[in-house]
Amino acid sequence: MAFKLKTLGQVLDFSDKYSTGDYIVKEKKLGKYTLGEINPNGVIDIEKDMSPALKRKAVKHEVDHLYQMKRGEMRFDHNNYYYKPTPYSPIQVIPSSKIDPHDRNLPWEQDAHK
């Protein structure tokens, strides 16, 4: 009698196709204007109902944010975003209630779009 083992991604509910050893990507239904997002733990969520090309683009963009977080340039919690553009600059604390997270003119978004 033969059986088939599930992949690690199937067991842990992440995308085998877009995840690597450096980051985990989950495909799920997101908001109307959201293609991807990263949580404070570094897990990337991407919209499941879009083309593979858009999924790759969303993953690349969110991985840029992941590396910003690893370098200490950007982090966030439920209340604030914390942005430090250079190692010697002070941390800018920006209340989450004061920004639109979809705004591409935010300083950390500008860095991720380079």
Per-residue pLDDT tens over the stretch 50-77:
999 999 999 999 999 999 999 999 999 9
Answer yes or no: is 67 within a domain: yes
Helix (H) or strand (E) holding 12: helix 8-12
Answer yes or no: is 3 within a domain: no
Answer yes or no: is 27 within a domain: yes
94, 100, 104, 109 alpha-carbon torsion, rounded to 10°: 40
Q: Indicate the average pLDDT of the chain.
A: 89
Top-ranked range on mean pLDDT: pick from 10-14, 96-100, 108-112: 96-100
Answer yes or no: is 49 within a domain: yes
pTM: 0.85
Answer yes or no: is 103 within a domain: yes
Task: Count how many domains the chain has.
Answer: 1
Which structural domain, as residue segments, surrounds residue 30?
A: 8-112
